[in-house]
Structure 1
């Protein structure tokens, strides 16, 4: 069965997440954490970016990249857009991850954008650097970003456990979805992003987040990511030499 967009649509499975598995590095973990937290059933379609499927090319013809959420045959693309869409479409069945207050909602948007365009980009520079100078600059920006987020956590949480207050919110999902990747690439990046001396509140937040039942299910295995990071870093080094 197909939808009016031409994408496959199976009755009884109205949500399909088109994404990667272990190689999903450097992206906000769009959708999967949130789907699990809301207890929603969905079909996961793994992608090989070296051999992109027709489903991916049809659902995201502009950027041709993951992640893509397909809801009743209609594709939603880009990590942050997917997070907001899920909250708008399904937030009524549980606690909304975005604040009801317009100002607080805007603040949450700001920090999610900061994570994606400051922290993640700096991390990518450190991980893929082709020289020590570039790597050092990436690490410098990463650590500066961590300090900024430390202040953000204190401000947004108002002394409560999460960015969202008593329960996890939009910012928690955005940063929490990156934790396994950040931990898995500490060795090749040459730094530990959060530490008890400089970011004590974030260290405590990490412990609370990974202790959540949904996070235990949704987050990738760090050991597998460590191995993947070593392989990926070796590939990057080889391509630079060539």
Structure 2
């Protein structure tokens, strides 16, 4: 999988992912594409400087990644992209969503719910005092809710790695930083999620898509400097 220049990919490849190296939302798409065995071109975007014309044209509403270009047509938002991959590539190696309509609805609900890990976790490292404590409590409750949903299952959908797992697993690399800033231990508040994260890390699609927690923590430190957070 080659990395292409940001503004020179739209017409050269059938499937192009506009992405940013540490983004958990972009990583969702990378993992999904790997799980489904779909070849694509990766286009690394500059989100901390001047955004590319291709990104601004492809996602004029939110102006952010990930964006999947399929034959030049943009699909935005990570969970939308995951669903699209199942719909657009039914003959790929596997589907991420279950076939039962109720199970599909539940998977979409819990996949969207995992975004709260990032939302609350971001507030944990950005804020201080009572605001940080509140964000920490929210994050812990989210993790406990996910722990309860996971229960004794191998993965969120049961025995197979699926839609919710793809949506949630990129946040695993961010959790050590959230734990440090929030002063809690994942093993204590959500032990089944902790064990699930270790199982997921053994998958090739995950291992090749995520960065070590140390790199994520370095990126958070960079963001704190950019935002002027002591």
Does the pair score TM above 0.5? yes
Q: Which residue of 2 aligns with 1:4?
A: none
What are the equivalent positions in structure 2 for 1:118-197 lying under 5 Å apart?
A: 118-129=116-127, 131-154=128-151, 159-192=152-185, 194-195=186-187, 197=188
Pairing 1:79–2:72 present: no
Q: Any stretches of 5+ residues in structure 1 without a counterpart?
A: 1-6
Give the conservation status (yes or no) of the 8 Å contact 2:26–2:65: no
3-state SS, counterpart of residue 69 of structure 2 = strand
* Aligned-partner Cα distance in 2 for 1:185–1:160: 25
Following superposition, the deviation at residue 143 of structure 1 comes to: 0.2
Per the normalisation by structure 2, the TM-score is 0.88
* Aligned-partner Cα distance in 1 for 2:35–2:148: 26
Per the normalisation by structure 1, the TM-score is 0.84
Query: What RMSD in Å do the two structures reach over aligned CA positions?
Result: 1.9
Q: Which deviations, in whole Å up to 9, do the C-alpha atoms of 1:198-239 show, x marking residues without a partner?
A: 322212211110011211111123221122222222333x2x
Q: Which deviations, in whole Å up to 9, do the C-alpha atoms of 1:74-128 show, x marking residues without a partner?
A: 1000111111111222243222110100001111111112112x33221121122
Q: Which residue of 1 aligns with 2:15?
A: 15
* Aligned-partner Cα distance in 1 for 2:158–2:91: 18
Q: Which residue of 2 aligns with 1:43?
A: 41
Q: Which deviations, in whole Å up to 9, do the C-alpha atoms of 1:167-204 show, x marking residues without a partner?
A: 11110001112211223444334434x21x33222122
Gap change, CA 1:163 and 1:136, over 3 Å in 2: same
What are the equivalent positions in structure 2 for 1:217-232 lying under 5 Å apart?
A: 217-232=208-223
Following superposition, the deviation at residue 28 of structure 1 comes to: 6.8
Pairing 1:114–2:107 present: no
Pairing 1:210–2:201 present: yes
Give the conservation status (yes or no) of the 8 Å contact 1:30–1:82: no
Gap change, CA 1:76 and 1:47, over 3 Å in 2: same
3-state SS, counterpart of residue 147 of structure 1 = helix
* Aligned-partner Cα distance in 2 for 1:66–1:101: 30
How many pairs does the alignment contain? Answer: 221
3-state SS, counterpart of residue 38 of structure 2 = coil
